[in-house]
A and B are shown apart, each in its own frame.
Chain A
Amino acid sequence: MSLNPLKQSAKLFSFLLLSLFLIISCTSSKTEQKSIDIIVSSEGPYFAGGNSFTLDYQPDLKKLIVDKELRSEDIVSIKLSSARLSIPNDVDISFSNFTSASLQVLSDNAPMTSVAILNPISPNASQAIEMVVSDEADMAPFFKENSFTYLLDLDFKEDDYSDALKMNLTLNLTIEYK
């Protein structure tokens, strides 16, 4: 007893459609924006040229997206969509003291990655500057670790004998997850 060709085709088509739906639903990912504020700091004195500001950071994947308790394996990529560098109100320095700024991330297990740069810094820059962010740098490997380090290099125009300085960074992240 054989089914007629029309019914066979309809069954095959339904099967293919169901398979396609399953593949898409298993592989499709979502994106979400998340803004984080961090403070990087450094001890002086500072000499003309590059000086490093750091923050040891402990990411919490479970709190990265509200109502989504993300696990490491859920994250596809984390990219920087913008990076805003600002000088805290209680810090007596201005952007006219610097020629360039670059931001990297590093950890014990992932290679150092450059994520944002601004060169040159306009001498007329006010208390905040927008850095140029990398389209390619993926921060996901860092957020999957217990801790990683933000490293901001500021190029000083001349020596500065402050005991210590700190800078604010507002980072907007585009998180792609399953």
Chain B
Amino acid sequence: MITNILKTALLIFAFSMSASAGFSQAEADKLIGVWEPSHGKAKVKVEKIGSKYYGKIVWLKEPNKPETNEPKTDQNNPDEKMRSTPLRGYRILKDFNYTGENEWSEGTIYDPENGNTYSCTIKMKDDNTIEIRGFIGVSALGRTDIWKRLQTPKK
């Protein structure tokens, strides 16, 4: 009798754990897609690699250097040898973990215009809007930008 009750309890526990994990995974993957920062100069595609989320530049309003008409590179990278890395394809969002309640944290955001990397959290306000907060040290000392999901035209 007791064994049966224990078995049932274990089954219910296992089922609830797997259900909650599945729900959490679907929530976490909502970040995947193409997003446009408020300045409108780039589009960033978020993808999942391993267990974390990364965002790379897939479109630039001005893809080429005006002086040479060559594709822009990461000319402000603190590591001089990496400065020839093309900006298109560059991962500016790195290492985000889903921490629940529509929030991804523990990641960084890179600003190619000054070569600085900031700690970063992402909060999804609705399915098509995220708040990206870059900061140094504590989250209170930072700046927030609103990014919109790229809407593909319906065929």
Contact = CB atoms under 8 A, between A and B. Distances in A.
Interface of A: 49-50, 52, 54, 99-100, 102, 104, 106-108, 111-112, 114, 117-119, 132-137, 149, 151, 153, 155
Contacts of A119: 73, 84-86
A106 B81 contact: no
Interface stretch (B20-28, B46-54, B142-150): B46-54
Contacts of A107: 50
Interface string B9-41: 000000000000000000000000000000000
Interface in B40-71: 49-52, 54, 56, 58
A46 B35 CA distance: 21
Interface range for B:
20 to 34
A106 B85 contact: no
Given A50-B89, A106-B50, A112 B95 contact: yes
Contact of A135 (B51, B56, B58, B81): B81
B108 interface: yes
Contacts of A134: 79, 81-82
Given A49-B89, A50-B58, A149-B50, 18 more contacts: A100-B85, A102-B89, A106-B49, A108-B51, A112-B54, A114-B79, A114-B82, A117-B82, A117-B85, A118-B84, A119-B85, A132-B84, A134-B82, A135-B81, A137-B79, A151-B49, A153-B89, A155-B86
A35 to B, nearest CB: 20
A135 B49 contact: no
Nearest to A100: B86
B133 interface: no
A52 B50 CA distance: 13
Interface of B: 49-52, 54, 56, 58, 73, 78-79, 81-82, 84-86, 88-89, 91, 94-95, 108
B89 A136 contact: no
B94 A112 contact: yes
Nearest to A118: B84
A132 B84 CA distance: 9
Contacts of A112: 54, 91, 94-95
Nearest to B78: A136
Nearest to A135: B81
B46 to A, nearest CB: 14
A111 B108 contact: yes
A112 B110 CA distance: 12
